[in-house]
Structure formats: C-alpha cells, structure tokens
Amino acid sequence: MKINVEKCAGLLKDRDNILILCHAHPDGDTLGCGYALLRALQKQGKTVRLECADEIPKKYSYLYDDITVSDFNEEYVIAVDVATENLLGSLEEKYAGRVDLCIDHHGTNTDYAKYLLLNADAAAACEVVLKVIKAMGVEIDKKMADCLYTGITTDSGCFRYSSVTSNTHRSAAELIDLGADNGYINRLMFETKTKKFAALERLATQGMEFFLNERVCVITVTNEMYEQTGTDEQDTEALPPLTRQIEGVEIGLTIREKKDKTCKCSIRTFESVNAAELAGAFGGGGHKQAAACRFDCDVQTAKKMLVEKSKELLK
C-alpha cells in the first residue's frame, strides 16, 4: 500500500525494536538513509539497528562511527532505497515477505513491502527520508545532516545528473545549514582514491571495449583484477560513471564478475536511452539514467546479451 510522508512518520512513531535494511553492495544513498533514520529513531528513544548483506566500505565510517546498538529481536522491518527484494542480497532469504515499510525513490519499485513511501521524482532516497524525519518532529543534528547529504550528493553524481531537481538543491542547502560538511563529504566521495582503486581503475580502463559505432562502452572487472590489485567489489563504486565520460557514448556498462562466476552490471545512460528499461530486460531496475541487473552466467555471455539489447534501444 502506497502512503504519504505523514502516514510514514506516524507508523515510525508508533513502532519500536526496528530493523533497517540497506541494499547489497551499499552506496551512499542507502547508507545515508539508513543511518539518518536510525539516528532519528534513537533520538525518540527507540531500539534500532541496521543490517546490510555486504560489508560497508570504510569511507562511509563517519556515518556510523559513534553509533551503539544492542542485539534484539526485530518487531518492525524497514527497507531504505531498496527497489526489489532481491537487492537485499543474502538477506533476501531471511526477510523476503517480512518488510513492513519501504522508503524509496525508484520508479521500478515492485511494491513488495506492506507500506511503501515512494517519490520517483527525487534524485535520492535521502530527499524522502529528510521529509520523513522532519514530519516525525525530530531535530536534525549535524550527524544526521551528514548522512542525508551523503545520499543526495552520491546519488546525484555531485548534482550533475539529469535527475537533479530544484528540490534536490534545496534539500542539500537545508542540510548544509544544519551542519552537513559538504566540502569534506564531496572530497571524500568524488576526489579521493586509494592506491588499490587506482590500480584497479587502470586495469579496467585498459580493457575498455566499444560496440555499436562506439555508442556503447563496456568496462569489465574480473576476479583476476581483484586478486592482482588487492581489491574487491566494494572498490568498484566509482567505475560506472567513467563510461559516461567518453564522448559519443550513450550506454555505459560496467560488468563485475562475482566469486561464483556470475556477474552484475551497472548501467549508465544519457537521456536517449532508459537505463531502467535495459536493466529491466534482465530482471533488474533503477532509474532512467542509472540502473543495475544481475546475471546467473559468465561475464562474456552477459556482455553479449547486454549489447544485443542495447542495439534494440538505441535509435
């Protein structure tokens, strides 16, 4: 059932022993939503914890480094920035069919939760969570502002994507006024690379391939690359945007091999192609210019299928 901000805030105020779920391979938006909401609920005296199927990258430690939680049996389950249950990764088996509330901004959301607060016009789910926390009557402190700003700036590509609206800028400005350290966060998210990532980036871009008159760019990240550079899938978050930077490219595909030899593809497009439609052809989803899907096959097979489908979508 779809609900509005006020109904969502009311549900949260009436619940306790709350579990917040983030999507697998976590990014700044799902983590920013999760930790901002956790902090807001703790401020109201509630017992809350956050779970994610994958390890949280160290660069996000400022979102949670002062949080203390105790173990408890959850009575209410919330998913944030999770469009489909399979995006929960290994947590899907445990929590499928048990999500009470989902707060999201993906137009491809499958309405799997009992209650859904969805704003598909928002550039980041953190824009929606900001409204919910305000509707709960919680005073937003610096830590919450940092969390929410992180989600907005990362999901908007530091305000460069076409999904950005005037409300995105207003939300960011409000959070800066509330203490968000925008300079530090943007530098950490967009201008800071580990030496390991720099090595991985070099290997990945060396193997960059082009298809369909160079309108499709493919970056492939293999297990061998991870082993060679000492990296893992957590280190690949900054790779997909690189495909959008190549002149003439309309569809960017970053295919990441997983340990079991299956793979995942992050899709980036411009306005000429709907990334969510491309991902949807393979059971995935996302936004018009940023989406993702998973494959139960090897990288080369997935690449062939993706390029063939891209040919259908390119006009």
The domain containing residue 275 runs over which residues?
Answer: 195-313
**Which of 129, 163, 190 is at the close of a domain?**
190
Query: What phi-psi label fits residue 210: left (phi over 0), alpha (psi between -120 and 50 degrees) or beta?
Result: beta
**Which of 140, 165, 190 is at the close of a domain?**
190
* Burial zone of 71 (CB within 10 Å; 0-12 exposed, 13-18 middle, 19+ buried): exposed
Q: How many CB atoms lie within 10 A of CB 296?
A: 11
Helical segments of 259-298, H only: 275-280
Residues 182 and 232 in one domain: no
Q: Which of 17-21, 41-45, 261-265, 284-288 has the lowest mean pLDDT?
A: 284-288
What are residue 288's phi and psi, to 5 degrees? Answer: -65, -35
Distance of CA 265 to the CA centre of its chain: 14
DSSP 79: E
Residue 135: give its domain's CATH number: 3.90.1640.10
pLDDT at 271 over 90: no
Confidence of residue 278 (pLDDT cuts 50, 70, 90): very high
Residues 138 and 69 in one domain: yes
Residues 219 and 280 in one domain: yes
Residues 199 and 258 in one domain: yes
Q: Read off the pLDDT of each residue in 240-262 and give the average, rounded to a whole number.
A: 94
pLDDT at 237 over 90: no
Residues 213 and 282 in one domain: yes
Residues 50 and 182 in one domain: yes
Residue 305: its pLDDT value, please?
97
Residues 11 and 57 in one domain: yes
Number of domains in the chain: 2
Average pLDDT score over the chain: 95
Confidence of residue 284 (pLDDT cuts 50, 70, 90): confident
pLDDT at 178 over 90: yes
- N-terminal to C-terminal alpha carbon distance within the chain: 37
Taking CA 238 as the corner, what is the angle to CA 168 and CA 255, rounded to the nearest 5 degrees?
115
Residue found under tokens 């492939």? 220
Residues 106 and 144 in one domain: yes
**Which of 168, 190, 212 is at the close of a domain?**
190
Residues 127 and 245 in one domain: no
Residues 153 and 200 in one domain: no
- pLDDT (tens digit per residue) in 49-59: 999 999 999 99
Q: CA distances (Å), 26 to each of 53, 151, 248, in order? A: 9, 11, 30
Q: Read off the pLDDT of each residue in 143-165 and give the average, rounded to a whole number.
A: 95
Residues 54 and 129 in one domain: yes
Considering the chain, what percentage of its residues have pLDDT values greater than 90? 88
Q: Read off the pLDDT of each residue in 281-304 and give the average, rounded to a whole number.
A: 92
